[in-house]
């Protein structure tokens, strides 16, 4: 990598490599799960369900996917939830 390259753009390019198409329909119940998790919680609400975190852990361990690639997957999921 050239010395004059921007780390910000380099990191973003690594994150963008995380784009893959995957069926995540099993996560449709995550809103109910998050609601249950937040029922008696004091403070900031949970944003991700346990099943979603387990799914990401499976990707990291099972497919040996890098952390920045997982960041790209999470960003696309959040974008999908906002736009749908």
d(CA 46, CA 13): 29
The burial of 46, by beta-carbon neighbours within 10 Å (0-12 exposed, 13-18 middle, 19 or more buried), is given as middle
User: Is residue 58 assigned to a domain?
Assistant: yes
User: Is residue 2 assigned to a domain?
Assistant: no
pLDDT band, residue 74 (cuts 50/70/90): confident
Write the DSSP string, 18-57: T------GGGGGHHHHHHHHHSS--SSPP-S-HHHHHHHH
User: Is residue 21 assigned to a domain?
Assistant: no
User: Is residue 8 assigned to a domain?
Assistant: no
User: Is residue 77 assigned to a domain?
Assistant: yes
Which structural domain range is residue 82 located in? 29-39+46-84
d(CA 50, CA 42): 18
Q: Which residue has the higher pLDDT, 80 or 47?
A: 47
**How do residues 8-25 score in pLDDT, each as one tens digit?**
888 888 877 766 666 677
**How do residues 35-61 score in pLDDT, each as one tens digit?**
898 898 888 888 788 888 888 888 888
* Predicted pLDDT of residue 16: 77
User: Average of pLDDT values for 25-41?
Assistant: 83
pTM, two decimals, is 0.54
**Into how many domains does the chain fold?**
1
């Amino acid at each position: 990598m050239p010395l004059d390259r921007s780390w910000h753009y380099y990191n973003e390019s690594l994150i963008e490599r995380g784009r893959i198409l995957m069926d995540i329909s099993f996560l449709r119940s995550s809103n109910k799960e998050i609601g249950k998790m937040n029922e008696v919680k004091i403070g900031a609400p949970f944003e991700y369900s346990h099943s979603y975190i387990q799914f990401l852990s499976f990707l990291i361990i099972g497919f040996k996917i890098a952390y920045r690639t997982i960041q790209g997957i999470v960003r696309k999921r959040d974008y999908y939830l906002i736009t749908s």
